[in-house]
A and B are shown apart, each in its own frame.
Chain A
Amino acid sequence: EIVLTQSPGTLSLSPGERATLSCRASQSISNSQLAWYQQKPGQAPRLLIYDASSRATGIPDRFSGSGSGTDFTLTISRLEPEDFAVYYCQQSGSSFVTFGPGTKVDIK
């Protein structure tokens, strides 16, 4: 099973600032099958990025993903008020899907 580690656990930023979230895998993820989700309180997760760098339908271009192998990054170029949430990475490169523990982006 591939274990995903996300850092930092909490990121305190102000609207307009740049957010950089990290996701590290315990072993290389084949075909860069790494996705990112946003979850707000009381809501289901929303897909942001898949295959490491492809934006899902309707996702603003301030969200971008990068990385390969074991190190992946989600970047939010300029935080909007609605971007304060928890972000999860998820891999499917191994036999079973696993999620990271999440990074909470809160307002500084």
Chain B
Amino acid sequence: QLVETGGGLIQPGGSLRLSCAGSGLTVSGNYMDWVRQAPGKGLEWVSLIYGGGTAYYADSVKGRFTISRDNSKNTVYLQMNILRDEDTAIYYCARGRTHFDLWGQGTLVTVSS
């Protein structure tokens, strides 16, 4: 399973780091993604990490968010900087490249002054 932590209330311009801990799977051996969902809205893919640390980002977060991985802790991270109101969402960790077959329960990030 995947368990996300680290969400909370943060002011615009602030930073937050989300964590996604894996159990029963090895995050380093899988394609691991972050997908977000604004309140009452649809799903938006955010970022992907795989292999030796190759990473991709949606245009909406490129240059502000960084995905990384700690193999010893079997955990994937999402460092979010220069947060904006529109980054308010539930952030899900998910496994997969062409489709997502395992999801965490999500962690809520609220960007507001």
* Chain A residues near B (Cβ < 8 Å): 33, 35, 37, 44-47, 50-51, 56-57, 88, 90, 92, 96-102
Contacts and interface: CB of A to CB of B under 8 A. Distances in A.
A45 B43 contact: yes
- Please list the 5 inter-chain residue pairs (A to B) with the smallest Cβ-Cβ separation, ordered nearest first: A35-B99, A44-B103, A97-B45, A50-B99, A92-B98
A92 B92 contact: no
Given A44-B103, A44-B105, A99 B56 contact: no
A102 B42 contact: yes
Given A35-B99, A44-B103, A88-B42, 7 more contacts: A47-B99, A47-B100, A57-B101, A96-B58, A98-B45, A99-B44, A100-B42
Nearest to A100: B42
B82 to A, nearest CB: 21
B42 A99 contact: yes
Contact of A99 (B33, B43, B101): B43
B43 A90 contact: yes
Nearest to B43: A99
B36 to A, nearest CB: 11
Contacts of B58: 96
Interface in B1-59: 33, 42-45, 48, 56, 58
A87 to B, nearest CB: 11
Contacts of A102: 42
B101 to A, nearest CB: 5
Nearest to A34: B99
